[in-house]
Structure 1
Amino acid sequence: YMTRALKIYEEFGDEPRQALVLGNIGNLYLDYNKFEPAKQAFERTIVLAKKHNISGTLANAYSGMLQYNFQTANYPMAMRYARMAETILSKSNSRSDLGTVYNSIGQIFYEQKKYDEAMDYYDRSLAIRKDMNDQLGIASCYKNIGVCYGKLQEFDKANSYLNRAIAVFKRIDARDYLRDAHVQQAKLFEEQKNLGGSLLALKESTKIKDSIYSRETTDRINELEIQYQTEKKAQQIVLLNKENKIQKLTVQNRNITIGIVAGVLLLSVLGGFMFYNRYKLRQENRLQETIIKQQDLSTKAVLQAEETERQRISSELHDGLGQMFSAVKLNLSGIIDDIKFKNDQSSSVFMKTLDLVDESCKEVRVISHQMAPNVLLRSGLATAVRDFIDKIDARKLEVKLETVGLKDRLDTNVESVLYRVIQEIVNNVIKHAGANKLDIQLIREEDGVNIMIEDNGKGFDTAIVERAEGMGLKNIRSRISYLKGSVDFSSAPGKGTLVAIYVPL
């Protein structure tokens, strides 16, 4: 039925409802472990939701991609989509969905063996569940926290939280969840060498499993009985209707004729309307494509002119001003032995001047290389970024760089734009964030490049910054837009900043 609904919405060009149905289809595919069809449905949902600015549908699609990547053990990508869903849900105050996302982030950290971080997000989810009096959610958070404490060898706390979870699951008769809680408790007792407790917990789990099977069998028998009674009544109704149909044939024939004529007229009107509507949509699409094409050409020309100007200035600095400073240094070094200084102070001033000239030579060379880094042209994006961050003082900012799948070179234009964007973001961290740690991930996949840059600085209010966007953020957005990509900022005061970039290839 969902597929039929999607087909109808596609025929009428109703893209917002297409996005909604595609999201539901993606979740259904996930329930049946059909991961690739689920991924395709969610990706189509994201495109349509972004196009029409439907934040709720977009957040659900991000959550779906989070679950897809979690199920396929791609935890970095799962975290990326979790952060994007968190940003949207925080703005819209969708507390129930936000609690679910927090719980999923905790599961990602758990799978990565980061148990303290996992418990932090389980606690956030628990606070929301308690505020909403969501008993099932509260018990699930208790269970997850208990399992984390078990991994940390804090067995008393682990037992306490698991017992709380079991008590709530029993009270609300959540048997599937209760069975899993007993299984986790059995594992915990086994780790404590409490084999008796482990055996009792496993017996409880088996007893619940048997009761679930018995209940399902009873429900199935009742369902079959209802179907039998329904079919029996339907047969009686059919026998009664046969007598009435004989009397109504003449009237029906007349009504059918009238209906056919009216249907033909209605179809003609609908056909004309749909033809006109499709023609109008095609014209609008052509106009939009032309506008986008012109914008792309303009952006490309600006970026190319900017890069050309950078190379020209770099060459001027290196070959002009740099050579002049080198000549000055050489001349001063050549005459030092011929000069007789009046006192030690004059000699010291002369040596400091010589050192300043040397520092100026180095500074000109650094600026020249930053404006047109030769390493980017020679070795590619990953090597250029590593060369750039190696020049940062590690005592003030510790930078970790992780690259995946970048052994083969990207398109020269893509490498140049991404390098400038990363350079701009890192400079912003140095100038404004007050951070001492910075993590950079460059991941190339089959269909695109993902970049995640996260610092532990003072953060900022994304709503305020988006309303008063400076030149730096505008440059970042325009460059990524030129590559048909997307960039998302996730931050809050006192909680650092995460910048997530995706560029299709």
Structure 2
Amino acid sequence: MKAYADSLQHALGKEDNDSIKAQIHIQLINYWLYRDTTVAHKHLMEGRALSVNYPYLYGMSYYAEGLYYFNSDAGKSVNAYLKADTILGQLKTREAYIARSNLWNNIAVQKQRKDDDRGHVDVLLNKAIPLAEKAKDSATMAFEYSAVGVSFMNMSQYEKAVPYFNNAINILRHKPSQQPRLVTAYGRAAENYIELNKFPEARAALDSLHAILAPYPDSEHHSLYYMGEGMYYHKLEAYDKAINYFDMGIRSANGTLKDYRIQELNFQKVKTQVAAEKYNDARQLLIKLMNDPEVMDFYGNRIETYDNLAKVYAGLGNMKEAYHWQKEYTILNDSLNDSKLKKDVNALEQKYNNAEKEKRIARLEAENKIALLSARNNRLINWLLGVISVSLLITVILSYSNYKKNKKLAVEKENSYQAQVQKLKQEQQLVSVQAMLKGEERERKRMAQDLHDGLGGILAGVRMNLSEVESKVTQTFQNEIDKIITNVDISLRELRRIAHNLMPETLLRFGLVNALDDLCKSYQAPGINIEFQVYEMNTKMSDNKQLTIYRIIQELLSNALRHSKATEIIVQCSQNKNKCFITVEDNGKGFDPDLPENKKGLGLTNLKNRVKSMKGKLDINSDTEGTIVNIELNVG
């Protein structure tokens, strides 16, 4: 883990992309969470600040906040998870579904910590598992099936737990990368079978668990295996063997769950010591547990401790202490049951109140019907008295209404006509732009060919003739001839460069991506770095569209180099189905695209025309620190 964290920190120092930096900060939180919470919180805040413009990463920053408060403040943890769910819920991606499934699983764990096993199961079955199914993430589903099984075990509904453990095991045993989760599923399934006295099934689960762990002698999961073996031999009344396994489990416990696992093993060990009538050993261990505030903070641990102390002191013949701890156990157990009873009573009361509300609503509706009938009779009498005057009024209203309706229809027809005219104008304008651009490209192609075949051929011939003359002239004219040849070579190179700009040969022969790469390299010079990044570009689009994209990027690079005095330029091209996305970012002095002199520039006008010809969108953000141009084009 340290090497992994160091590599992330090294990458963070070299990275300039905000989204990647945000992702690294969020990943580093997991490393520092159990080592230095101050450093973890610093990474959390920096990751969130960098991820504001990236919805998935922004949601994951709140997911990480939920983890940050998970063990210290349950309220803040749940609130952060709910915020993350709201943000990620707007995304319909597999990664978002997996993250939401995991955060709801963690919310379920917080309910379990409050002894609300029913709430725990409800959240898993109705929130976490459906999201894992949407993501088609069987590993996460299996993990949550196993968690449901544990909840049913906590409620002593062992038979209900069996199918959930089986589902988890059947999924995970076919996924080598999920062995830690498979180990947990086998371990809990074995414990469940032991509680059901199904010893062959328990033995099979424990043997499978041992086979997985055998190649990893230092694994923290050995403690889970040893606990299962201890419970197994406890049920078979082989108490010494069971205690030995519990001690092996305590010695092997390590990792982030070390303290929790040791607590489990100690409580199982106490049960076995009491059953083996080793009361003094049990009493010493119980006193040690009782002096640990973290252990006694959990309701269930206190109940189990008081119950076992009562049994231990009764076994030692100290009935006074036995009575005292039995009384403490009874008070605490009654309090817990009373709390659950109050919850059930409150639920029943809520149902009763809802039923009473429905009765009152039905009664009020009946009274309203009677009042409505009475009012209707009165209105009928009044209507009969005023029918003549109303008839005249209706005639006037209908006439006026008809007049307004006709007027409204006329206005709507006029608006529709104007809209159609405007649409035709826009379509005609688009056709004109496309025709103009096609004509421009044809003229560029013709000029490039004429320059290459005509003037280029003449210059090449001159170069050859001069080379022949060079060997025949005297030393007096040798230097002059060399100068002339050098100037002819320079002219040829410049001619080729102009012809290439007019019609890029790389685009015609090797496609758009190679042509853009060559274009970026051709603009590079001392003190000017141009980085070209391409993602999933489909080169099967028509030649006209490829050429338009090439011209757009050529224009953007030319503007950046001519006007902005930039030293760093990044060109990004990507495609998603029928959409092509272009981003060109520089660190130049920037400009105001809304100024009249900038609006009238030929370069910006050409750029807008080319974007319009592909029914695209153009967005320019510029300030004194540089310019970012984002373009979206339709290439379908």
Give the TM-score, by structure 2 length.
0.46
Please tell me whether residue 443 in structure 1 is matched to residue 587 in structure 2: no
Please tell me whether residue 195 in structure 1 is matched to residue 247 in structure 2: no
Deviation at 1:478, TM superposition (A): 1.6
Alignment partner of 1:317 out of 451, 458, 466: 451
Helix, strand or coil at the partner of 2:450? helix
Alignment partner of 1:425 out of 553, 556, 564: 556
Q: Report if the CA contact (8 A) 1:399-1:437 is conserved.
A: yes
Measured in 2, the distance between the counterparts of 1:306 and 1:420 equals: 11
Q: Report if the CA contact (8 A) 1:406-1:444 is conserved.
A: no
The superposition leaves residues 150-172 of structure 1 with CA deviations (integer Å, 9 ceiling, x where unpaired) of 9xxxxxxx84x8789867679xx
Q: Which residue in 1 is equivalent to 2:465?
A: 331
Q: Which residue in 2 is equivalent to 1:11?
A: none
Q: Report if the CA contact (8 A) 1:106-1:118 is conserved.
A: no
Measured in 1, the distance between the counterparts of 2:492 and 2:347 equals: 81
Q: Which residue in 2 is equivalent to 1:363?
A: 494
The superposition leaves residues 87-108 of structure 1 with CA deviations (integer Å, 9 ceiling, x where unpaired) of xxxxxxxxxxxxxxxxxx9699
Q: Which amino acid aligns with 2:61?
A: N
Following superposition of structure 1 onto structure 2, how do residues 100-179 of structure 1 map, counting pairs within 5 Å? Answer: 110=23, 120=46, 122-123=48-49, 144=61, 147=64, 159=68, 176=82
The superposition leaves residues 321-374 of structure 1 with CA deviations (integer Å, 9 ceiling, x where unpaired) of 2222212221222122223325xxx85665454333223212211211220224
Q: Report if the CA contact (8 A) 2:615-2:634 is conserved.
A: yes
Q: Report if the CA contact (8 A) 2:48-2:58 is conserved.
A: yes
Q: Which amino acid aligns with 2:604?
A: L
Identity %, equivalent residues:
18
Cα distance 1:163–1:233, how it changes in 2: closer, same or farther (>3 A)?
Answer: same
Following superposition of structure 1 onto structure 2, how do residues 11-90 of structure 1 map, counting pairs within 5 Å? Answer: none
Measured in 2, the distance between the counterparts of 1:212 and 1:302 equals: 77
Q: Report if the CA contact (8 A) 1:373-1:384 is conserved.
A: yes
Following superposition of structure 1 onto structure 2, how do residues 392-407 of structure 1 map, counting pairs within 5 Å? Answer: 392-393=523-524, 396-404=528-536, 406-407=538-539
Cα distance 1:336–1:218, how it changes in 2: closer, same or farther (>3 A)?
Answer: farther
Deviation at 1:402, TM superposition (A): 1.4
Cα distance 1:467–1:348, how it changes in 2: closer, same or farther (>3 A)?
Answer: closer
Measured in 2, the distance between the counterparts of 1:481 and 1:178 equals: 38
Q: Which residue in 1 is equivalent to 2:380?
A: 249
Q: Which residue in 1 is equivalent to 2:175?
A: none
Deviates more, 1:256-265 or 1:487-496: 256-265
Deviation at 1:113, TM superposition (A): 7.9
Give the TM-score, by structure 1 length.
0.57
Q: Which amino acid aligns with 2:550?
A: Y
Following superposition of structure 1 onto structure 2, how do residues 199-348 of structure 1 map, counting pairs within 5 Å? Answer: 226-252=357-383, 254=386, 261=395, 264-265=398-399, 267-342=401-476
Q: Report if the CA contact (8 A) 1:489-1:499 is conserved.
A: yes
Deviation at 1:269, TM superposition (A): 3.1
User: How large is the Cα RMSD of the aligned pairs?
Assistant: 5.1
Q: Which amino acid aligns with 2:64?
A: V
Helix, strand or coil at the partner of 1:408? coil
Q: Which residue in 1 is equivalent to 2:634?
A: 503
Cα distance 1:174–1:352, how it changes in 2: closer, same or farther (>3 A)?
Answer: closer
Helix, strand or coil at the partner of 1:452? strand
Deviation at 1:399, TM superposition (A): 2.5
Deviation at 1:476, TM superposition (A): 0.5
Measured in 1, the distance between the counterparts of 2:595 and 2:585 equals: 17
The superposition leaves residues 39-64 of structure 1 with CA deviations (integer Å, 9 ceiling, x where unpaired) of xxxxxxxxxxxxxxxxxxxxxxxxxx
Measured in 2, the distance between the counterparts of 1:377 and 1:301 equals: 21
Deviation at 1:259, TM superposition (A): 7.5
Measured in 2, the distance between the counterparts of 1:216 and 1:433 equals: 71
Measured in 1, the distance between the counterparts of 2:423 and 2:370 equals: 61
Please tell me whether residue 183 in structure 1 is matched to residue 106 in structure 2: yes
Which of structures 1 and 2 has the bigger CA Rg? 2
Cα distance 1:183–1:349, how it changes in 2: closer, same or farther (>3 A)?
Answer: farther
Alignment partner of 2:585 out of 444, 455, 472: 455
Q: Which amino acid aligns with 2:421?
A: L
Q: Report if the CA contact (8 A) 2:512-2:539 is conserved.
A: no
Q: Which amino acid aligns with 1:122?
A: R
Q: Which amino acid aligns with 1:499?
A: N
Measured in 2, the distance between the counterparts of 1:376 and 1:485 equals: 22
Alignment partner of 1:468 out of 580, 591, 598: 598
Q: Which residue in 1 is equivalent to 2:145?
A: none
Measured in 2, the distance between the counterparts of 1:438 and 1:413 equals: 24
Cα distance 1:385–1:124, how it changes in 2: closer, same or farther (>3 A)?
Answer: closer
Cα distance 1:362–1:493, how it changes in 2: closer, same or farther (>3 A)?
Answer: same
Cα distance 1:365–1:164, how it changes in 2: closer, same or farther (>3 A)?
Answer: farther
Cα distance 1:183–1:353, how it changes in 2: closer, same or farther (>3 A)?
Answer: farther
Q: Report if the CA contact (8 A) 1:460-1:494 is conserved.
A: yes
Helix, strand or coil at the partner of 2:587? coil
Q: Which amino acid aligns with 1:438?
A: I
Deviation at 1:237, TM superposition (A): 2.3
Measured in 2, the distance between the counterparts of 1:223 and 1:465 equals: 65
Q: Which amino acid aligns with 1:401?
A: Q
Measured in 2, the distance between the counterparts of 1:501 and 1:358 equals: 42
Q: Which amino acid aligns with 1:283?
A: Y
Cα distance 1:405–1:265, how it changes in 2: closer, same or farther (>3 A)?
Answer: farther
> Which segments of 5 or more consecutive residues in structure 1 lack a partner in the other structure?
1-104, 127-139, 151-157, 205-209
Measured in 2, the distance between the counterparts of 1:374 and 1:404 equals: 23
Q: Which residue in 1 is equivalent to 2:141?
A: none
The superposition leaves residues 250-273 of structure 1 with CA deviations (integer Å, 9 ceiling, x where unpaired) of 224556757754663454234313
Deviation at 1:424, TM superposition (A): 0.6
The superposition leaves residues 393-429 of structure 1 with CA deviations (integer Å, 9 ceiling, x where unpaired) of 387324223153524232x433332221121112223
Q: Which amino acid aligns with 1:310?
A: R
Cα distance 1:482–1:264, how it changes in 2: closer, same or farther (>3 A)?
Answer: same
Cα distance 1:124–1:400, how it changes in 2: closer, same or farther (>3 A)?
Answer: closer
Helix, strand or coil at the partner of 2:475? coil
Helix, strand or coil at the partner of 1:338? coil
Q: Which residue in 2 is equivalent to 1:492?
A: 623
Helix, strand or coil at the partner of 2:471? helix
Q: Report if the CA contact (8 A) 2:51-2:58 is conserved.
A: yes
Measured in 1, the distance between the counterparts of 2:401 and 2:375 equals: 31
The superposition leaves residues 178-206 of structure 1 with CA deviations (integer Å, 9 ceiling, x where unpaired) of 9959939999xx99933268899xx99xx
Cα distance 1:143–1:290, how it changes in 2: closer, same or farther (>3 A)?
Answer: closer
Q: Report if the CA contact (8 A) 1:175-1:212 is conserved.
A: no
Measured in 2, the distance between the counterparts of 1:421 and 1:213 equals: 69
Q: Report if the CA contact (8 A) 1:143-1:162 is conserved.
A: no
